[in-house]
Amino acid sequence: MKKNKLLFIVLFLVAGTISSCKKYLELTPYGPPTELGNMTDDQAMTAVYSLFYWQYREGTLGRGFMWYENASDNFVTGRTQAEAQAIKNFTDQGSGGRDVRDNWPQMYQTINYSNNLIRAVPNASRLSEKVKSSVLGHAHFMRAFAYLWLAPWYGDNGPNGGIPIVTEETPIDQMDVPRPASVLENYAMIIADFEKAADLLPYFHEIPENQKGLMHKTAAWALMARAALYAAQYDNSYYDKVIEYADRVINTGNHSLVPNYADLWEIESNWSPEYIMSATSTEIDGSKLPGVIFQNGGFGIYNTWGYFQPTVELLKAFAPGDTRRKVSIAVPGDTLQFVGNQIIWAVNPATVSSPTAMTIVKYLAPFRPADAVGNTVNPNSDNGTTDLSIPLIRYADVLLMKAEALIWSGRNGDEPLNKVRVRAGLSPLTNATKADLKNERRCEFVLEFGVFRHLDLVRWGDAQEAYSKPLHGYQVTLSGNTVSALTEYVVWPARNFNPAIHHVFPIPTVEIGKGVNLKQNAGY
């Protein structure tokens, strides 16, 4: 099977050039940027590949921020885990909950690494202009991405402010900077960085086959739209920017929806027209999300881990005929293929680890073949990666961001919204409402990194009401090999979400102690 060159280079560099984070904001420079001035074009590209290191970390793209998404009404914790329970119940005080705490230092390493590249490029006299553009474009892109990865979870427009801003102009010994007064300062910088990146980077179709996974113009524009959407919760003028940036992507004609939603989750669709940015993964390494979700212990076939199980509330969000339901969620009686074995979910075998009696199957395709292990699935089940790349932003997101910005600003969002609905087998809507848009996002992006239900509920002002209701699962009654009854029961009690505090999560306490200026979010 053909492997991705970018992944192999990143893994090599991880072993040899990336140091651990020991001080606040990684005060000590690491990696190749300090030597960029003496590098050839080929050597300089290794510096670009190093920027992708975070994609192969369990704390970023394994469980990571999915512990925060697990706080939403879409999921419950599939296994007993005290820190995860504290996050879901909004009682965590900054422990970071397992892998969550890795995101802050990992992203500030990426920011610092990007800053080093931006500093070094002007003096890199041996580099061609093409490679200079690539290095600088990727540095601005990944710096923006790292800030965007953190800012919605930890920053606000008051009382906490944004997250610390360090740039190539920040002296190394002054990186312990105070938080900006508003997260809007972060979003403005993020958008400006993505704009610079877009000016320097090629279109996706211009990237050589063996370098797919590198960044491109429409990825920058799409993430500008996402940053503007988050900013719009504090400043309505950003809705016009969402529309502008989404239209940049749409008007290229370079992206489109995959006609069949189910095909999106096949390995063959890793670089489909819907692709904008993904975590490039293989059975060697990459995102561990596919191995995290399915049945704990994998029925003794392959050791998947059993986290993040869907609720009845999520299931009921799917309208009759919505093809996304069966692609996303297995309910008792659904037939699945798992490493060559036919499984009738919650029937044969009848015992499942999910407390809701359902599970997420969106990323299951690489596990289907009898020879999956070692071919399409990692032979080490403690590192359950697959050949299916995990989307971080795709064209459907661009369409629904535009639809949301139109609807929220009093205009008609039917055209972009209905493209997504019709692909799902649903009838188009006329004069779609905010409620229609909210449900469309919920059903389209189940358990996808970057499009988090919890963040949506918070920015829409819906979190307090949603979390004041208990969450449900199913108890299954069988008659032989047939499901005769599904009885709803409370699987997670109602929770106390205080929007004055819980609209952000606590910064991991280990990070607070690394400097004097970083202050914990109010109420924690």
Q: What is the distance between the alpha carbons of residues 339 and 373, in angstroms, rounded to a whole number?
A: 7
The pLDDT confidence band at residue 22, using thresholds 50, 70 and 90, is very low
Over residues 107-147, the pLDDT tens digits come to 999 999 999 999 999 999 899 999 999 999 999 999 999 99
In this predicted structure, what is the pLDDT of residue 190?
99
Over residues 52-98, the pLDDT tens digits come to 999 988 999 999 999 999 999 999 999 988 899 999 999 999 976 67
Please give the model's pTM, rounded to 2 decimal places: 0.94
Residue 196 lies in a domain: yes
Over residues 466-497, the pLDDT tens digits come to 999 999 999 999 999 999 999 999 999 999 99
- % of the chain residues with pLDDT over 70: 93
Chain mean position to CA 459: 17
Q: Give the Å distances, CA to CA, from 104 to 107, 150, 332, 506.
A: 5, 7, 38, 11
Residue 213 lies in a domain: yes
More confident residue, 187 or 50: 187
The pLDDT confidence band at residue 401, using thresholds 50, 70 and 90, is very high
The rounded mean pLDDT for the chain is: 92
Which residue range forms the structural domain that includes residue 122?
Answer: 5-264+502-512
Residue 20: pLDDT over 80:
no
Residue 30 lies in a domain: yes
Q: Give the Å distances, CA to CA, from 491 to 311, 470, 488.
A: 9, 8, 9
Residue 315 lies in a domain: no
In this predicted structure, what is the pLDDT of residue 403?
99
Q: How many CA atoms lie within 13 A of 6 on its CB side?
A: 24
DSSP code, position 142: H
Over residues 157-168, the pLDDT tens digits come to 999 999 999 999
In this predicted structure, what is the pLDDT of residue 1?
37
- % of the chain residues with pLDDT over 90: 87
Per-residue buried b or exposed e for 434-458, using 16+ beta carbons within 10 Å of the residue's own CB: eebbbebbbbbbbbbbbbbbbbbbb
In this predicted structure, what is the pLDDT of residue 70?
97
Q: What is the CATH number of the domain that holds 165?
A: 1.25.40.390
Q: How many CA atoms lie within 13 A of 456 on its CB side?
A: 26
Over residues 246-281, the pLDDT tens digits come to 999 999 999 999 999 999 999 999 999 999 999 999
Residue 374: pLDDT over 90:
yes
In this predicted structure, what is the pLDDT of residue 13?
47
Domain count, the chain: 1
Q: What is the distance between the alpha carbons of residues 443 and 423, in angstroms, rounded to a whole number?
A: 12
Over residues 169-193, the pLDDT tens digits come to 998 888 899 999 999 999 999 999 9
